[in-house]
Amino acid sequence: MKIRDTGFDFAKKTYVMGILNVTPDSFSDGGLHNSTDAAVEHALDMIKDGADIIDIGGESTRPGYSSVPADVELDRVIPVIEALRRRSDIPISIDTTKAEVAAAAISAGADIINTVEGLDISEDMIKVARDSGAFIVMTYENCYVNQFGEALIGMAETAVEAGISPDRIIVDPGIGFGKTKEENLRILNELPIITQVGYPVLLGCSRKSVIGYFTGRDENGSQNGPQSGPQSGSERRPEIAKERLPGTLVTTVLAGLAGVGIVRVHDVKENVLALKMLAGICES
């Protein structure tokens, strides 16, 4: 598979997607990169650290987030995409639920649409992906269901039936979206099965609440995470988010062993090194 000028072989390698939040309220890093210059420099740093894709978002999707108008989101992401495209040919993903934003981002130089509304994807978003020929990441944003792999296939087939080429679809099981801690763990345990669905799989587990539950403080500063129900989020807490790096690395290695095609992460350098170590072990 070729995205822009880069070849990807998702059956043989796990690639790293670096997260670039151009937002004031993301849990991990809201407000840190919400000027164009700061965002582009952070993207270039991630590329230097080994990122294969840069995922740019102008609206937080943490649990309990507040949606922003399309014009606000456009003002945040389009200048960053344009400026980064002038300095790099790396594949760029736009993280959005709005077709208007996706269309403008593709015109500005993005290559992938990453939408957390995979099950509820709008006809307008389908049209943008179909007409532009962009790749699309579809996230399963609801609770876990039995035969989860078949559910992911069904989600992808809705896009295929609407005219999107199947070789341009990537599926995301949606860790942290509408799922309990137990459901998130079940998905992580089932990754070797999920990766057999016939579409590349993206895992977005970086710094999620399920990691905080086991390895560090939760969003409220407690050592204990939520016991049940969809996992909750809070305001930006970078000091807590950083404590979730070791747990994130565990999920990245798990993803690599299971054949996941892409891991979406905040800490690019550390995750790249973890995957290199895994590759060295597996190839010896």
List active site positions.
208, 264
In angstroms, the CA 240 to CA 79 distance is: 30
**Type and span of the H or E element at 272:** helix 268-283
Q: Which residues touch 34 (CB under 8 Å, ≥6 apart)?
A: 22, 23, 24, 76
Tokens of 184: 């998130």
Give the pairing type, strands 169-172 and 202-203: unpaired
Least Cα distance to 129 among 158, 89, 154, 87 occurs for: 158
The conformation of residue 89, written as its DSSP 8-state character, comes to -
**Residues linked to residue 95 through DSSP beta bridges, in sequence order:** 57, 114
Residue type, 78: I
Tokens of 155: 């989600």
Handedness of CA 170, 229, 63, 267 (dihedral sign): negative
In angstroms, the CA 236 to CA 176 distance is: 16
Long-range (24+ apart) CB contacts under 8 A made by 159-162 are 159/121, 159/126, 159/129, 162/123, 162/126, 162/130
